[in-house]
Amino acid sequence: MADIRSLHDAVAELIHDGDTVALEGFTHLIPFAAAHEIIRQGVKGLTLARMTPDVVYDQLIGAGTARKLVFSWGGNPGVGSLHRFRDAVENGWPAPLETDEHSHAGMANRYAAGAAKLPFAVLRGYRGSDIPARTPTVSTVTCPFTGEELAAVAALNPDVTVIHAQQADKAGNVQLWGLTGVQKEAALAARRVLVTVEELVDTLEPRPGGVVLPTWVVDAVAVVPGGAHPSYAAGYSVRDNAFYREWDGISRDRAAFGRWLEESVGRVRGEERRAIIPAAAAGEVAPAAEAAAVSGVRAPVRAGAATRAPAPAKAATAAPVPATPAPLPTKAASQVPRPVPDCTPDELMEVNAARALAGARTCFVGIGLPSTAANLARRTVNPDLVLIYESGTIGSKPTRLPLSIGDGELADTADSVVSVPEMFNYWLQGGRIDVGFLGAAQVDRFANINTTVVRRGPGRPEGRLPGAGGAPEIAANCGQVLMVLRHSRRNFVGALDFVTTLGHGSGPRDRAALGLPGAGPTAVITDLGVLRPDPVTAELVLTDLHPGVTVEQVRQATGWDLKEAPRIGVTAPPTDAELAALRALKAATTPETSTSKAATPDAPDAPDTATPDTATPDTATPDAHGSRKDAS
């Protein structure tokens, strides 16, 4: 039975040196306040488990609490690198950090197996990826019924799972709603469970799509209004995007991080903190000053929203047979027009990526360029396109560019919201999604993708990228994959440093030999033109140029001897209606949180002036699908 107690006392009793601790919350309901209490109490030697470590684990790692990280994607959502994470991996500061690296599907299934008290879970994952070679908790098993070889991932059973939720009643029953991620699975997989909540209520009122954890599976509940800040709690607060941007500068330098740690975490202790943050009365929203005590940065809150329930979930449908997106409109190469007035290379890329979705029914999409293109497609060539985000939303209809994969509007406007394990197992692995939209840090001639590490040469540590996220299973299971990224020799490389996600392997038969059901990458759309796999060799060839671009420009921006199609087309210039829709879509997002500059980054290359003992090299961070997120 759950006890209602202070956060200080709950952490002191439940979390010990050397524990495996999962602080879950898939971009929503992230338990920042609990993480800060762990830091204040000086807990050390932790194995930290989390699908998306993001800023909360950057803080824990930088504070010296961790010896190992179990994860599937590690970046500052919408901004770039986790500099404290990278400093620990690359330079061993403040201590060396071991890693146990997975894809999102692998991590979700590890939690699910742990909750079911099974020794492992099986999935069709990691095929053609280098991840299993460096991750001992990934193996293979042969199905005793069909003979199929499947990936096996070891069950994950944390000593302690910590989550944040909206409400608990006085008996210790807990309810959370909105994007629920893997919180339920992580809690049921753990030996001990600590939940921080926005408020204590007399009775839990049922919420559509809500998750209730009964008191008898929870050890302690702590009332911490604003305890998810700078993330958010649906119905209580909104995400503090400014803090995520500020964190990039704070965390980049060791001294700046140390000052932040002392001023914003170390200063708020025990009774002092409880005096600053009183328990919220039912129906009230935690004041901004209370949330500020959690992270040291003022949190925006949405007044009067505490009792608002999400819209009822509606059934979502998916095409049983993948549709084929329409080919890009082109003109003959001999008819190359002058550059389009008042049209940027990014706009050419985004419009053509949207056109590629004209015939699709469903699209698995990430933040950044893929999201811009998919949302533009809904406003132009394909108003019925079903947008699916890995946070668990099916049929989202955002009115503006989402600020992150966990943007609350994605859940508010969705036909249905499901857990992350359901998303990857039933919808993606089940073959119900037509098109996957991916970006990358590195792409090779067969459209294989690297979002894990880059080599910097003898005597230098590997440059750390965020990891796989959902990309390996998206590329394997969607009917086909479209890729969108800026064209440069740092992105389009002759040989990958690491294969995170298989495109076409080393030739046309590799996908079939591995049993991958989807067609794989069918087009790579860049700011210079379009590359498609040759039907015989599966090697990417130049098939289309954007207006005003020459073949030589594309060849110079490609790290291998790029071949050309027998007849190279020219993409049709954006229409006035397309440009107006694209610009209106971007204008709907405020400048502070705009994703209008989101793009696939260059692979990291440490500046020569970087000083390893004071700063980590700058790296643009791909999202879970490999494209950069400039706001979340």
Same domain for 269 and 387?
no
Query: Is residue 326 predicted with pLDDT exceeding 80?
Result: no
Query: Is residue 518 predicted with pLDDT exceeding 50?
Result: yes
Residue 288 is predicted with a pLDDT of 33
- Which band of pLDDT confidence, cut at 50, 70 and 90, is reported for residue 324? low
Burial 361-392 (b: 16+ CB within 10 A, else e): bbbbbbbbbbbbbbbbbbbbbbeebbbbbbbb
The residue ranking higher by pLDDT, 287 or 9, is: 9
- Residue 85 has phi, psi (to 5 degrees) of -60, -50
- Which band of pLDDT confidence, cut at 50, 70 and 90, is reported for residue 401? confident
For the question of residue 390 being annotated catalytic, the response is yes
Residue 329 is predicted with a pLDDT of 54
Domain-embedded: residue 549 = yes
Q: Show the tokens assigned to 160.
A: 């302690």
Domain-embedded: residue 216 = yes
Domain-embedded: residue 465 = yes
Quote the CA–CA distance of 424 and 400 in Å, as a whole number: 25
Same domain for 583 and 468?
yes
Domain-embedded: residue 96 = no
Query: Is residue 493 predicted with pLDDT exceeding 50?
Result: yes
Q: Rg (Cα) of the chain, in Å, rounded?
A: 24
Q: Which of 273, 295, 317 is the last residue of a domain?
A: 295
Quote the CA–CA distance of 224 and 163 in Å, as a whole number: 12
The residue annotated as part of the active site, out of 37, 290, 390, 473, is 390
Residue 325 is predicted with a pLDDT of 57
Residue 263: domain span:
3-43+161-295
Same domain for 200 and 268?
yes
- Residue 362 has phi, psi (to 5 degrees) of -135, 145
Same domain for 270 and 347?
no
Same domain for 252 and 384?
no
Write the pLDDT tens digit of every residue in 426-481. Answer: 999 999 999 999 988 999 999 999 999 998 888 888 899 999 999 999 999 999 99
Residue 408 is predicted with a pLDDT of 87
Query: Is residue 588 predicted with pLDDT exceeding 60?
Result: yes
Query: Is residue 98 predicted with pLDDT exceeding 60?
Result: yes
Same domain for 371 and 248?
no
Same domain for 282 and 391?
no
Please provide the DSSP assignment of 249-270 as one string. HHHHBHHHHHHHIIIIIIT--H
| Tally of domains within the chain | 2
Please report, rounded to a whole number, the percentage of residues in the chain having pLDDT higher than 90: 74
Domain-embedded: residue 528 = yes
Amino acid in position 154:
A
- Residue 30 has phi, psi (to 5 degrees) of -80, 130
Quote the CA–CA distance of 129 and 345 in Å, as a whole number: 32
Quote the CA–CA distance of 518 and 512 in Å, as a whole number: 9
Query: Is residue 396 predicted with pLDDT exceeding 70?
Result: yes
Domain-embedded: residue 464 = yes
Pairing label, strands 46-49, 435-438: unpaired
Residue 439 is predicted with a pLDDT of 87
Q: Which of 558, 575, 590 is the last residue of a domain?
A: 590
Same domain for 275 and 354?
no
Quote the CA–CA distance of 75 and 82 in Å, as a whole number: 5
Pairing label, strands 120-123, 480-484: unpaired
Quote the CA–CA distance of 524 and 532 in Å, as a whole number: 6
The residue ranking higher by pLDDT, 275 or 338, is: 338
Mean pLDDT of the chain: 85
Same domain for 384 and 465?
yes
What are the residues whose beta carbons fall under 8 Å from the beta carbon of 606, sequence distance 6 or more? Answer: 456, 460, 463, 617
Quote the CA–CA distance of 187 and 213 in Å, as a whole number: 9
Same domain for 413 and 288?
no
Write the pLDDT tens digit of every residue in 545-577. Answer: 999 999 999 999 999 999 999 999 999 999 999
Query: Is residue 148 predicted with pLDDT exceeding 70?
Result: yes
Cis before 617 (ω within 30) = no
Q: Where do we find the tokens 């997106």? A: 325
Same domain for 456 and 563?
yes
CB 407 within 8 A of CB 430: no
**Helix (H), strand (E) counts: the chain:** 19, 28
Any idea of the CA torsion for 483, 489, 495, 499, to the nearest 10 degrees? Answer: -40
Write the pLDDT tens digit of every residue in 227-242. Answer: 999 999 999 999 998 9
Query: Is residue 393 predicted with pLDDT exceeding 70?
Result: yes
What 3-state class would DSSP assign to 292?
Answer: helix
Residue 327 is predicted with a pLDDT of 59
Question: What pTM did the predictor assign?
Answer: 0.85
Domain-embedded: residue 191 = yes
Tell me the CATH number at 261: 3.40.1080.10
Residue 267 is predicted with a pLDDT of 54
Interval 164-169 mean pLDDT: 98
Pairing label, strands 563-571, 540-545: parallel
- Which band of pLDDT confidence, cut at 50, 70 and 90, is reported for residue 330? low
Domain-embedded: residue 233 = yes
Same domain for 173 and 234?
yes
